[in-house]
Chains A and B, each alone.
Chain A
Amino acid sequence: MIDKEVVVPGDFLSDDPSKAGTGTYVEGGKVFALAYGILESRDRLRVISLGGKYVPLPGDDIIGNVVDFSLSSWKVDINSPYGADLHISEHPQRVDFGDMCRHIKIGESIITKVIRVDNEMRVDLTLKGYDLKILRGGRIIDFFHSKIPRLIGRSGSMINMIKEECKCAIFVGQNGRIWVNGEGDNMALAIKTIKKIEDEAHTSGLTAKIAQFLEDER
């Protein structure tokens, strides 16, 4: 079933420190695995973790849930150990003092971008930008964040195939939340397909397998 090597923390990977990629560490000129995951060795050695939480990075497009607001910012849950702030100045419209509820209500979900992450992991978000918006309609599903590259596929091949086949609008947040909007049956099929990708993300030839799956389901 599995065709890639699974490594555990502390496994020796290489003698060449220049090959160390994410999910590895170098000690005494040798490269070791830092996490429990799947070893990928192209030009660099990388360990794709099989667990773990999303850690925000500036520039990530993510889906957040607004959980609270203070005088000048909304508090957003971004599916990470850290909460995030969306300051009113980062809203595309002018937000008057005391009028925040009219723009984004608590409980609403937003497509947003991470603009800043400081040393203490305080996270700032923005709604100013192409495609960033408040979500109305559709469904949000959870997906394991380190498998997202498989869902997107090479230059978006996988996700575009699902969008076309299921006639759905899909937004993939880097933090492991996916927004799907479409008609009833189409949306159900899209979600089923996404779940299948999550279950089989570690196998090879996935795009072909999913294409077959979508054809069978029709």
Chain B
Amino acid sequence: MNDIPERFINEEGLRLDGRRVDELRPLKIEVGVLKRADGSCYLEFGNNKVIAAVYGPREIHPRHLQNAMETVVRYRYNMASFSVDERKRPGPDRRGVEVSKVSRESIEPVILKEYYPRSSVDIFVEVLQADAGTRTAGINAASVALADAGIPMKGLVSSCAVGKVDNTLVLDLMKEEDNYGQADMPLAMVTKDDIITLLQMDGDLSKDEFKKGIEMAISGCKEIYKIQKKALIDAYS
């Protein structure tokens, strides 16, 4: 269905969708879209569409998972069967379990878990439409939804990916670049403290490229943070 493009970056330095190499896709965030959840967020990141819902702190079930000292954070990342070109078999799969785990670990460090012992905070992220970088979109949405739910947090978590196509580092890969590119490196960070909480890599990068890639991703995260913050503030005015 998708032919491999001959070149990812044209003579003018623009990518397939007309972005520069260090440009993010347009990001749109809406806060409090679900009435039944304690906190929620709808997010569009380029062609990605995700919705995040947060429940809690609430009583944890099954009870044997409870921790007498702190709250238990649970994160479920799920792709809708219609989110990709070829219908995805619904339900949890190997990839989904992994993404849930790394996403949870990227968000957990900011939550003050000792405030609510014996309880759970449940985060649900549903990917409605996927176009590369859904885990980063999910983390951005989950972080805003957690704030909306009034969970005590040390800061917001922002996330974006950096990758390599045509031997050039590019920020925030889109689908073609992800599928046929040379590398993909998602990163999440607590923007306030410059702490990286998620770092994965697929493909090859040299040491210098890796260093430069991290810098690009960090500046991308900082831009995303501004949009997250603005969305939260605008929701109350």
Q: How many residues in B have their beta carbons less than 8 Å from beta carbons of A?
A: 33
Instruction: Choose among A9, A35, A49, A82 the residue that contacts B118 (Cβ–Cβ < 8 A).
Output: A82
- Contact of A36 with B154 at beta-carbon distance under 8 Å, contacts A8-B229, A51-B38 already known: no
> Using a CB-CB cutoff of 8 Å, which residues 139-168 of chain A contact chain B?
none
Q: Is the CB of B236 within 8 A of A82?
A: no
Instruction: Choose among B58, B118, B148 the residue that contacts A36 (Cβ–Cβ < 8 A).
Output: B148
CB of A189 to closest CB in B, whole Å: 25
Q: Is the CB of B155 within 8 A of A10?
A: yes
Q: Is B213 an interface residue when CB atoms closer than 8 A count as contact?
A: no
- Contact of A1 with B237 at beta-carbon distance under 8 Å, contacts A8-B232, A9-B154, A51-B150 already known: yes
Residues of the B chain whose Cβ atoms lie less than 8 Å from the Cβ of A37 = 150
Which single residue of chain B is at the shortest CB-CB distance from A25? Answer: B154
Residues of the A chain whose Cβ atoms lie less than 8 Å from the Cβ of B148 = 36, 50-51
Q: How many residues in A have their beta carbons less than 8 Å from beta carbons of B?
A: 28
Q: Is the CB of A32 within 8 A of B154?
A: yes
Residues of the A chain whose Cβ atoms lie less than 8 Å from the Cβ of B154 = 9-10, 25, 27, 32, 34
Residues of the A chain whose Cβ atoms lie less than 8 Å from the Cβ of B147 = 8-9, 35-36, 51
Which single residue of chain A is at the shortest CB-CB distance from B32? Answer: A51
- Contact of A82 with B59 at beta-carbon distance under 8 Å, contacts A8-B233, A36-B150, A52-B149 already known: yes
Residues of the A chain whose Cβ atoms lie less than 8 Å from the Cβ of B150 = 35-37, 49-53
CB of B125 to closest CB in A, whole Å: 18
Q: Is the CB of A10 within 8 A of B192?
A: yes
Give A50 to B151 CA distance when docked, in angstroms: 10
Q: Is the CB of A52 within 8 A of B151?
A: yes
Q: Is the CB of A10 within 8 A of B156?
A: yes
Give A49 to B192 CA distance when docked, in angstroms: 20
Q: Is B153 an interface residue when CB atoms closer than 8 A count as contact?
A: yes
> Using a CB-CB cutoff of 8 Å, which residues 83-125 of chain B contact chain A?
110, 112, 115-119
Which single residue of chain B is at the shortest CB-CB distance from A5? Answer: B233
Q: Is A83 an interface residue when CB atoms closer than 8 A count as contact?
A: yes
Which single residue of chain A is at the shortest CB-CB distance from B237? Answer: A2
Which single residue of chain B is at the shortest CB-CB distance from A12? Answer: B192
Interface 1/0s, chain A 4-35, versus B by CB < 8 A? 00101110000000000001010100001011
Q: Is A70 an interface residue when CB atoms closer than 8 A count as contact?
A: no
Q: Is A81 an interface residue when CB atoms closer than 8 A count as contact?
A: yes
What is A's interface to B at a CB cutoff of 8 Å?
Answer: 1-2, 6, 8-10, 23, 25, 27, 32, 34-38, 49-53, 55, 81-83, 119-121, 202
Offer 9 A-B interface pairs, CB within 8 angstroms, sorted by A: A8-B229, A10-B156, A27-B154, A34-B152, A34-B153, A51-B151, A53-B57, A81-B57, A83-B59
Nearest 9 CB-CB pairings of A with B: A51-B150, A52-B150, A10-B155, A10-B192, A9-B153, A36-B147, A81-B119, A81-B57, A49-B150
